[in-house]
């Protein structure tokens, strides 16, 4: 296969009958997930065929949006509560060649001045070979091909005790969502952030949109943890598809954390997705507290591909501004308590 000939052609999803056939396909590549991002980010979904000469050898996914008057492209972009996106490719197609074809397509055909890309199958070695600036998206992963006993046994002893305590205390894990789920989750999330002097980085409308787009597909697990009196004390959101399940978010009330509902939620979610054929449980980001679950560290490069180098300085300044705003809002929220 001549990787130098790779090119892109934009298509409508309905024009790609093999859309769901790629083994490296994740929940983030679906029409529903892209619809979720389009609604919450005021963005325009893009699907393009990856072509080697006249043959279609893969698909490329992302969305166009505007910020500061500039036309940008995310596959995905920071702040979208979306871990990965990028490509679905036939075996033997080099991802570094696909990235270079995508950069040309995004800059020239789509008219975007900057692109960011996180593909779960791109390694640090590939990113260095590609040559664009990159940093890392940090996460952890649990191997679900192990037996339940092996997964449970790999957790730290304190974590196993928490799961057992939740069960002995009468905590019940309930599957399924309803109209109140998003508001319950978000109220608990505000409590979590307030403990750190912060506020959530997204609003409750983001959660409602996620549930609206994904829950009907059967690819979104919504969990509640209830105390012995039946009160909802914690919630969790876990999308998944094919071989990969994902931890999107969970929250709990500080006053009820003695029941250890969070550990019980995660253990239930891992077993749920394992039974449905998932091979990997991706923990959806960094956080050293996740290490107690016996998971392995994961670093995936985030490629930053500007049309003009000066845009990287603008990106860095924008990131600092967002972080400063979040700290300020958190201080204000703490003072109101």
- Domain holding 89: CATH number? 3.40.630
What are the CA-CA distances from residue 224 to residues 178, 180, 259 (Å)? 11, 11, 13
Cite the beta strand spans of the chain per DSSP E.
Answer: 6-11, 44-52, 55-67, 70-75, 86-89, 114-117, 133-143, 172-175, 220-226, 232-241, 244-246, 249-252, 280-282, 296-306
In a domain, 247, yes or no: yes
Looking at the structure, tell me whether residues 22 and 150 fall in a common domain: no
In a domain, 324, yes or no: no
Phi then psi for residue 105, to 5 deg, are -60, -45
Nearest to 166 by CA among 237, 260, 278: 260
Phi then psi for residue 46, to 5 deg, are -135, 130
User: Within 10 A of 267 (CB to CB), how many other CB atoms are there?
Assistant: 22
In a domain, 100, yes or no: yes
Cite the beta strand spans of 176-306 per DSSP E.
Answer: 220-226, 232-241, 244-246, 249-252, 280-282, 296-306
Check if the beta carbon of residue 30 is closer than 8 Å to that of residue 212. Answer: no
In a domain, 197, yes or no: yes
Last residue of a domain, one of 131, 155, 187: 131
Last residue of a domain, one of 78, 99, 131: 131
CATH code (residue 187) = 3.40.630.30
What are the beta bridge partners of residue 6? 52
Looking at the structure, tell me whether residues 147 and 264 fall in a common domain: yes
In a domain, 333, yes or no: no
Nearest to 65 by CA among 104, 113, 27, 100: 113
Looking at the structure, tell me whether residues 288 and 263 fall in a common domain: yes
User: Within 10 A of 174 (CB to CB), how many other CB atoms are there?
Assistant: 14
In a domain, 323, yes or no: no
In a domain, 336, yes or no: no
Cα distance between residue 86 and residue 306, in whole Å:
16
Cα distance between residue 61 and residue 194, in whole Å:
35
Looking at the structure, tell me whether residues 272 and 168 fall in a common domain: yes
In a domain, 61, yes or no: yes
Give, in degrees to the nearest 5, the angle at Cα 300 between 296 and 302: 155
User: Within 10 A of 153 (CB to CB), how many other CB atoms are there?
Assistant: 12
Looking at the structure, tell me whether residues 122 and 148 fall in a common domain: no
> Token digits for 243?
């071989």
Looking at the structure, tell me whether residues 126 and 216 fall in a common domain: no
Residues 6+ apart with CB under 8 A from 64: 43, 44, 46, 71, 72, 73, 110, 112
Looking at the structure, tell me whether residues 173 and 288 fall in a common domain: yes
Give the chain's domain count: 2
Cα distance between residue 262 and residue 247, in whole Å:
12
| Long-range Cβ pairs for the range 101-104 (8 Å, 24+) | 101/6, 101/7, 101/8, 101/50, 102/8, 102/48, 102/60, 102/75, 103/132, 103/305, 104/8
Looking at the structure, tell me whether residues 268 and 234 fall in a common domain: yes
Omega of the bond prior to 76 within 30 degrees of 0, cis? yes
Looking at the structure, tell me whether residues 66 and 91 fall in a common domain: yes
Looking at the structure, tell me whether residues 232 and 267 fall in a common domain: yes
Looking at the structure, tell me whether residues 37 and 167 fall in a common domain: no
Looking at the structure, tell me whether residues 242 and 287 fall in a common domain: yes
Cβ-in-10-Å burial (0-12, 13-18, 19+) of 53 comes to exposed
Could you report the average pLDDT of every consecutive run of 10 residues in the chain (337 residues)? 76 65 90 96 96 94 94 96 96 94 97 96 92 94 98 98 98 94 97 89 97 97 98 98 96 95 98 98 95 97 86 64 54 51
Last residue of a domain, one of 107, 131, 155: 131
Which domain, by its residues, includes 153? 140-298
Taken as a whole, the chain contains a residue count of 337
What are the beta bridge partners of residue 108? none
The predicted structure's pLDDT at residue 258: 95
């Amino acid at each position: 296969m001549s990787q130098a000939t790779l090119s892109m052609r934009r298509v409508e999803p309905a024009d790609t009958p093999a859309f769901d056939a790629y083994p490296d396909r994740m929940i983030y590549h679906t029409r529903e997930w892209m619809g979720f991002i389009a609604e919450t980010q005021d963005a325009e979904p893009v699907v393009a065929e990856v072509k080697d000469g006249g043959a279609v050898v893969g698909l490329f996914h992302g969305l166009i949006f505007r910020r500061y008057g500039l036309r940008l492209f995310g596959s995905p972009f920071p702040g979208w509560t979306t871990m990965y996106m990028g490509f679905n490719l036939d075996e033997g197609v080099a991802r570094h060649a696909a990235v270079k074809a995508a950069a040309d397509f995004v800059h020239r055909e789509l008219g975007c001045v900057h692109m960011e890309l996180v593909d779960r199958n791109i390694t640090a070695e590939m990113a260095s070979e590609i040559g664009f600036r990159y940093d890392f998206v940090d996460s952890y992963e649990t191997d679900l091909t192990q037996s339940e006993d092996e997964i449970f046994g790999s957790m730290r002893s304190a974590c196993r005790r928490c799961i057992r305590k939740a069960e002995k205390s009468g905590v019940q894990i309930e599957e399924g969502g309803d109209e109140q789920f998003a508001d319950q989750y978000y109220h608990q999330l505000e409590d979590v952030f307030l403990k750190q002097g912060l506020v959530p980085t997204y609003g409750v409308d983001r959660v409602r949109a996620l549930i609206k787009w994904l829950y009907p597909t059967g690819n979104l697990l919504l969990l509640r943890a209830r105390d012995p009196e039946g009160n909802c004390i914690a919630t969790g959101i876990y999308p998944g598809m094919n071989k990969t399940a994902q931890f999107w978010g969970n929250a709990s009330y500080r006053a009820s954390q003695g029941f250890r509902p969070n550990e019980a939620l995660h253990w239930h979610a891992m077993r749920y997705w394992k039974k449905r054929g998932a091979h990997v449980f991706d923990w959806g980001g960094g956080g050293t507290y996740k290490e107690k679950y016996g998971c392995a560290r994961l670093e995936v490069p985030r490629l930053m591909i500007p049309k003009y180098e000066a845009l990287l300085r603008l990106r860095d300044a924008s990131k600092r501004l967002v972080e400063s705003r979040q700290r300020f809002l958190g201080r204000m929220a703490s003072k109101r308590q």
